[in-house]
């Protein structure tokens, strides 16, 4: 009976972890697409994108709780509260676990900043929201370092595809910011003699 329970909790922890990761990746991809105005306003209204982004973020938080709870009650891991809540407190792959825990705390901070956005202002909130990219990186490294499925092709493919998509959208976002900040110079002003 104990081994059946152990299998159930471990499978729920794994499924919860991967589901959280996929939803987080989709939320980050959607957020980057929104920030670069990648969507077509005529076919896909911006409100739907913002709502979808928020929904994916909320859903990933719910599955994160499922993942943490399943790991905590799993009889094989024997994790206590300190193992789950304090970075480097566990003896099980402490560095990789710490990265996941730090990612959770950063996510909580971003969630609180979203609730406080009317009080802290949009500019500060947006600067804090950039930490979502760090959370994605920490979650990717945590999953690769601690995941029991990391050596499978599908898991590696999942990490690779989501990381490549996020990287490409981030490059697009940074390129758009650079173009926005580059001043347009009138050639006639540069060389008065040419006018």
Q: Which of 144, 177, 176, 182 is nearest to 160 (CA)?
A: 144
Considering the chain, what is the average pLDDT of its residues?
A: 86
Tokens for 19, please give them. 């589901």
Range of the domain at 163: 2-176
Cβ(90)–Cβ(83) below 8 Å: yes
**Alpha-carbon 89 to chain mean position:** 23
* Stated pTM of the model: 0.84
Q: How confident is the model over 13-42, as a mean pLDDT?
A: 85
Rounded to whole angstroms, the Cα distance separating 108 from 68 reads: 14
Residue 137: inside a domain, yes or no? yes
Residue 90: inside a domain, yes or no? yes
Rounded to whole angstroms, the Cα distance separating 124 from 55 reads: 22
Sign of the Cα pseudo-torsion (122, 30, 111, 129, in order): negative
Domain count, the chain: 1
Q: Which of 140, 142, 139 is nearest to 95 (CA)?
A: 142
Assign residue 183 a region (left: φ > 0; alpha: ψ between -120 and 50; beta: otherwise).
Answer: beta
Residue 168: inside a domain, yes or no? yes
Residue 172: inside a domain, yes or no? yes
Q: Is the pLDDT of residue 190 over 60?
A: no
Q: Is the pLDDT of residue 77 over 90?
A: no
Tokens for 122, please give them. 């949009």
Residue 97: inside a domain, yes or no? yes
Q: Which of 77, 88, 91 is nearest to 17 (CA)?
A: 77
Rounded to whole angstroms, the Cα distance separating 70 from 57 reads: 20
Residue 11: inside a domain, yes or no? yes
Q: How confident is the model over 130-138, as a mean pLDDT?
A: 95
């Amino acid at each position: 009976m104990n081994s059946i329970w152990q299998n159930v909790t471990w499978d729920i922890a794994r499924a919860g972890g991967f589901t959280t990761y996929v939803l987080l990746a989709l939320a980050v991809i959607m957020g980057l697409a929104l920030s670069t105005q990648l969507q077509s306003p005529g076919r896909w209204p911006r409100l739907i994108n913002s709502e979808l982004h928020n929904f994916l973020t909320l859903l990933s938080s719910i599955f994160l709780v499922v993942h943490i709870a399943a790991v905590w009650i799993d009889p094989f891991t024997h994790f206590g509260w300190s193992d789950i809540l304090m970075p480097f407190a566990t003896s099980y792959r402490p560095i990789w676990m710490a990265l996941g825990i730090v990612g959770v705390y950063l996510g909580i901070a971003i969630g609180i900043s979203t609730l406080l956005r009317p009080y802290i202002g949009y500019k500060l909130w947006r600067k804090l929201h950039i930490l979502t990219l760090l959370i994605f990186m920490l979650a990717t490294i945590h999953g690769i370092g601690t995941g029991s499925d990391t050596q499978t092709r599908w898991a590696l493919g999942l990490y690779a595809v989501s990381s490549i998509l996020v990287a490409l959208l981030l490059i697009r976002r940074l390129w758009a910011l650079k173009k926005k900040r580059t001043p347009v110079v009138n050639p006639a002003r540069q060389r008065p003699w040419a006018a």
